[in-house]
Chain A
Amino acid sequence: MSDSLSKLEKRTAYTLVLPAVLLVFAIVLFPIFANVWISFKDIELKDIRIPEPRAKKIVKSISENQSELKIIYKLRNSSLIQEIRNVQFQDKFPTNVSPVNLDPRCNFQSKKVVCSFGNWQAKYRENFEIIIQNNNGEIIDKKIIKSQKPILSGKADNPLLTTNFTLENFKKVFYENNFVELLLTTFYFTFFGTVGAIIFGILAAQLVNQNIQGRTYMRGILLFPYVGPVVALAYTWTLLLDPNSGTLNALLVNFNIIEQPINLLGQKYITMSILGFEFKLRLALTTVIFFEIWRYFPLAFLFILARLQAIPQSLYEAAEVDGASPIQKFIHITLPQITAIISILFMIRFIWNFNKFEDIFLLTGGASGTRTLPINVYQQGFAVSDIGMGSAVSIVIVMLLLSFMVIYFRLIGKRANEV
């Protein structure tokens, strides 16, 4: 009895879960594995369509009375890298019209010309001609002939499914792609973006957690950058920071804080001198990091605030009685209570910053030293059109992510379960 019940339960569970699992598998998991496949192939954006035979039909008169016409078919293989096998061609003609001196590859039967062209190599092209005449010497209507489209068919492998593999993509990723700088930029962006967002999150949460008036409004306002659409926010920032007529530069120049406008998003380095030490700062990258912090500190803020509000007030009251200063209270009561949530936030934000594409793409397009790994995926795959190379970069990202996760679960995973 209970056995059949649990069987029923299992069956029900699988029916309920299956649609969601299949969809996620097809759209999320399958592509991750497909990346591995594509990354070992020498394939470009223009090659991804399955090759097909194509024909362009041109009709020309060759006799005075138009009882004879020459038809030129510009035949070609749409693919530049793959052959099409067993190409078949077929075109229909009106009654009383028949071909003259038909190509030996073709047959004329019941108003149809049928040809077998055999195999077409990659880049194959041919101007194929048929001369037709009206059997009764009457005029052939060009328009009718032109409106009839030839039908072509052929067998070709899906370029994604062929089994010729190469290591070339990975060689290029590591040796020809400025890989070290790419990696350093990515980590610089990820690390400072994450740490900055968490620090500002702690500050904001600490502020809002005081008994200030309008606390709920403040919480709502602080979340605006997080819920707003990235496109709108990124373009607003671009406009604000624009060196020629951006508000920020105009203000700074107006109040004589700087002499010349600074191209915050378009300049790779800026030389700073602090206490006599001169050093170069990655200017555009730093600006992008600030945008990142601005956009994502609200998330850290929200989680830390939720945690702060759960700390029992009695702890602070006891500390007050013991004569603790505000700083002591923060260090000895607040901080230990929020370390767990901070470590989780660090992990989540680290991974997401590591994968961040839109923000950098919209602000700088990856120029001025802001090229990170995800930007590189786009540049290789779509700007340079090297799909295989883009996939190889994706694989590098996935591998790095997996290692972060392993490290994280080793180090802090146990503690995360307690929260």
Chain B
Amino acid sequence: MKFKSLAIFLIISSFFLTCILSIWKIMATLQGLSFTNLKITPVFLIGILLSLAFVLIGNKINHLIKIFSLSIIFSISYFYLNEASPYWYIFGVFLITLFFTNKLKKYNMQSLQEDFISEKIIFDFITLFGIVFFAFVILFPFYIMLVTSFKTQIALLVNPLDFSLDFTKSLTELFKSYFVIFETYNFGRYILISSAVSIGTVIVTLLFAIPAAYAVARLNFFGKNFLSTSILIIYMFPAIVLVIPLYTVFSQLGLRNSIFGLLIVYTATTLPVAIYMLQGYFKSIPKEIEDAGIMDGQNWFGIILKIIIPLSLPAIASVALYVFMIAWNEFLFSLMFLDSPKSFTLSRAIQYLSGDAETPRQYLMAGSVIVTLPVLFIFIYFEKYLVSGLTAGSVKE
């Protein structure tokens, strides 16, 4: 029993260490180090030795001294097992080992005899591994997007794995792609159009959604139940089936290639979600507050303006941000309705750029960074509002 859990512990922990070190090696390779072998087997074996030493030493010496000395020994043996590598890389290995041995703290020969210890070990390390794995898988494409925008086509062709940034270059050299897409490809204009369409959509959507949500939340009228269920069903319906009729009608009305046309479509498609999210919040406002307003002789306009809106500012903010992100990220309708570069949104402009096979990839990535940064900033800054809005009002692409 004890042997089995010890074996599981050694294998799982060493496997975890090997994974982190491999990720570290991959990241170092992308900084221009010429590693050609992940050396998984030797790393795995010295990882097992490290974990074994860790449990064997147990609590005989101070934890800090133990992890420091073990990490140093591990790093030195790693250095000799590996291809020639610079000191910063080995220092990284040392820090990772330090982090790893610190995580092993609760394991020793006694704790390996507890009930269900094998399952607990597996769960523990899957958690650790999962976090590293998810963070890596999520962030890696964003990282590539960002660093590619700072490279040049030639440098990437010479060594597609070298993403190191040369800080000895001047800032204008480093940010060259950004200057080019603004000067040659007119991205300033597209940023303005995208902002105008998105902010416009937010304003118009709120103007339509707040009164409607108030009516659905508070007033009794024929067809109310039908309305609130159809809201949900409507927003399950896909944009792709609206495209052909809207395209034909907009062509005849001359609304294609117009920002106004785009604004109408965005507003109509975000309205159901906005109403749904807002009415949920309006329902949670105590009715007595409104009754006081009615006593004061306010009509519905006054009640919405002076009572409901001030009380539900957080919800309105989250709907506004949410609608902004939908409109900013929207691609399908801008692809269908905009043919002329004069009225492109950012997403459409990037897609147009990519249509030309000659466009260097760093320009494409610089454009991608520009369209991504605002939403990520908004999201990070207002995460709390957005997450509560997302979960409260169900969801829309």
Contact of A224 with B138 in the complex, beta carbons under 8 Å: yes
Instruction: State how many angstroms separate the Cβ of B352 from the closest Cβ of chain A.
Output: 10
Residue of A nearest to B240 (CB): A374
**Stretch of B12-20, B47-55, B169-177, B386-394 at the chain-chain interface:** B386-394
Interface size on B, residues (CB 8 A): 101
User: Are A254's CB and B347's CB within 8 A?
Assistant: no
Question: Are the CB atoms of B160 and A247 closer together than 8 Å?
Answer: yes
Selecting from A61-69, A102-110, A299-307, the interface stretch reads A299-307
B38 in the interface (beta carbon within 8 A):
yes
Say yes or no: A222 contacts B138, CB within 8 Å.
yes
Contact of B29 among A49, A50, A235, A251 (CB under 8 A): A251
**Shortest distance between the CB of A343 and any CB in chain B (Å):** 14
B195 at the interface (CB under 8 A from A): no
Give the residues in chain B near A203, CB-CB below 8 Å: 130
CB distance from A229 to the nearest CB of B (A): 4
Q: How far is the CB of B35 from chain A (nearest CB, A)?
A: 8
From known contacts A31-B245, A158-B252, A204-B134, infer whether A231 and B350 are also in contact, taking CB-CB under 8 Å.
yes
B331-352 vs A, Cβ < 8 Å mask (1 yes, 0 no): 1100110000000001100110
Nearest Cβ on chain A to B105's Cβ, whole angstroms: 14
Question: In the complex where A23-B268, A24-B268, A38-B248 touch, is A245 in contact with B242 (Cβ < 8 A)?
Answer: no
- The answer to the question of B358 belonging to the interface, with a C-beta cut-off of 8 Å to chain A, is no
B244/A29 in contact, CB under 8 A: no
In the complex, which residues of chain B have a beta carbon less than 8 angstroms from the beta carbon of A357? 238-240, 332
The answer to whether A250 touches B268, judged by C-beta atoms less than 8 angstroms apart, is no
State which of A11-19, A88-96, A128-136, A278-286 sits at the interface with chain B: A11-19
Complex: chain A residue closest to B362, CB-CB: A239
Residues of A within 8 A of B336 (CB): 382
Binds A, one of B3-11, B70-78, B88-96, B141-149: B141-149
The answer to whether B242 touches A31, judged by C-beta atoms less than 8 angstroms apart, is yes
Interface of chain B: mostly helix, strand, loop or mixed? helix
Q: Given A24-B234, A391-B245, do A9 and B329 touch, yes or no (CB 8 Å)? A: no
A317 at the interface (CB under 8 A from B): no
Are A35 and B241 touching (Cβ within 8 A)?
Answer: yes
- A231 near B351 (CB under 8 angstroms)? yes
B-contacting 9-mer, from A141-149, A175-183, A262-270, A321-329: A321-329
Chain A residue with Cβ nearest B372? A232
Q: Which of A14, A28, A237 contacts B268 (CB 8 A)?
A: A28
Specify which chain A residues have a CB less than 8 angstroms from the CB of B367 in the assembled complex. 232
By the criterion CB–CB under 8 Å, are A17 and B248 in contact? no
The chain A residue with its CB closest to the CB of B397 is A352
CB contacts (< 8 Å) of B364 on chain A: these are 235, 239
Q: Which of B250-309 contact A (CB under 8 A)?
A: 251-252, 264-265, 267-269, 271-272, 275, 300
**A90, B145: Cα distance in complex, Å:** 60
Q: Do residues A231 and B347 form an inter-chain contact, with CB atoms below 8 A? A: yes
A275 at the interface (CB under 8 A from B): no
| A contact residues around B325 at 8 Å (CB) | 227
- Contact check, B249 vs A34: say whether CB atoms are below 8 A apart: yes
Partner of A32, one of B30, B134, B241, B350: B241
**Interface code A396-417, partner B: CB below 8 Å = 1, 0 otherwise?**
0110010001000000000000
Residues in A whose Cβ lies below 8 Å from that of B357:
none
Q: Is B31's CB within 8 Å of the partner chain A?
A: no
Given contacts A38-B248, A231-B350, contact A247 B30 (CB under 8 A): yes
Give B228 Cβ to nearest chain A Cβ, in Å.
11
- In the assembled complex, which residues on chain A have CB atoms less than 8 Å from the CB atom of B252? 48-50, 158, 160
Which of B135, B161, B267, B371 has a CB less than 8 Å from the CB of A250?
Answer: B161
Contacts of B311 in A (CB 8 A): none
A294 to B233, CA, bound (A): 26
B residues in contact with A405, CB < 8 Å: 233, 236
Q: Which of A73-81, A114-122, A191-199, A212-220 contacts B (4 or more CB under 8 A)?
A: A212-220
A294 to B142, CA, bound (A): 13
- Inter-chain contact B119/A302, CB cutoff 8 Å: no
Q: Does B246 belong to the interface (CB within 8 Å)?
A: yes
Q: Which residues of A contact B245 (CB under 8 A)?
A: 30-32, 34-35, 38, 391
A220 touches B383 (CB 8 A): yes
Given contacts A6-B220, A251-B26, A397-B241, contact A246 B160 (CB under 8 A): yes
CA distance A235 to B137 in the complex (A): 16
Instruction: Tell me, in angstroms, the Cα distance from A256 to B35 when the chains sit together.
Output: 11
A381→B37 CA distance, assembly (Å): 50
Please name 15 further chain A to chain B contacts, defined as beta carbons within 8 Å, in addition to the given A24-B272, A216-B383, sorted by A numbering.
Answer: A10-B219, A20-B275, A28-B268, A38-B248, A49-B251, A203-B130, A219-B387, A221-B138, A228-B372, A236-B365, A239-B361, A254-B161, A325-B119, A378-B243, A381-B243
Q: List the 7 closest pairs (A to B, CB-CB), nearest first.
A: A355-B238, A27-B268, A232-B368, A34-B245, A31-B245, A13-B221, A16-B211
Ordered by A's residue number, 29 sampled pairs between the chains whose C-beta atoms are within 8 Å are A9-B220, A13-B219, A16-B300, A27-B265, A32-B242, A38-B248, A207-B127, A212-B131, A218-B135, A219-B387, A222-B138, A228-B372, A228-B375, A231-B347, A231-B350, A232-B369, A235-B354, A240-B144, A299-B390, A326-B119, A326-B123, A355-B238, A361-B335, A362-B351, A378-B240, A381-B247, A391-B245, A397-B238, A398-B237
| B residues apposed to A, CB below 8 Å | 26, 29-30, 35-38, 115-116, 119-120, 123, 127, 130-131, 134-135, 137-139, 141-142, 144-145, 148, 156-157, 160-161, 208-209, 211-212, 214-216, 219-222, 224, 227, 233-234, 236-249, 251-252, 264-265, 267-269, 271-272, 275, 300, 325, 328-329, 331-332, 335-336, 346-347, 350-351, 354, 361, 364-365, 367-369, 371-372, 375-376, 379-380, 383, 386-387, 390-391, 394-395, 397
Residue positions of A touching B, CB distance < 8 A: 6, 9-10, 12-17, 19-21, 23-24, 26-32, 34-35, 38, 48-50, 158, 160, 203-204, 207, 210, 212, 216, 218-225, 227-233, 235-237, 239-240, 245-247, 250-251, 254-256, 294, 299, 302-303, 306, 323, 325-327, 348, 351-352, 354-355, 357-358, 361-362, 374, 377-378, 381-382, 387, 390-391, 394, 397-398, 401, 405
